[in-house]
Amino acid sequence: MDDREKTVQVTIFEQECSVKGDADADYIRRVAEYVDARMRAGRAAQPSKPPLKIAIITALNLADELLACQRDKEELLSRFEEKAREFSDSLNRGLT
């Protein structure tokens, strides 16, 4: 095992899990708490769904959020790069 890796016990949707990783233990717990909260919200919205279906729907919703954040980041980066080019062009025109 890598010296940085640690095992953290977490509970997600009433299931005890051992999570191994090199992130800070508190961060791992916060991630697990977030997933647990999202699964509980899914169960509250659809109480008749079995746990596996709730886990799948939660995973799809989290993946959708991740992809939306990645898209937003790419759009912001693209706008930033365009503004930087415009600024650089303006500076270059002013210096000539």
Handedness of CA 49, 53, 57, 62 (dihedral sign): positive
Neighbours of 89 (CB within 10 A): 10
| Contact predicate 54/43, CB 8 Å | yes
For residues 12 and 58, give the distance between their C-alpha atoms in angstroms, rounded to a whole number: 12
pLDDT at 2 over 60: no
Using the Cα atoms of residue 62, residue 41, residue 15 and residue 49 in order, give the sign of their dihedral.
negative
pTM, rounded to two decimals: 0.79
Query: pLDDT digit string (tens) for 12-52?
Result: 999 999 999 999 999 999 999 999 999 999 999 999 999 99
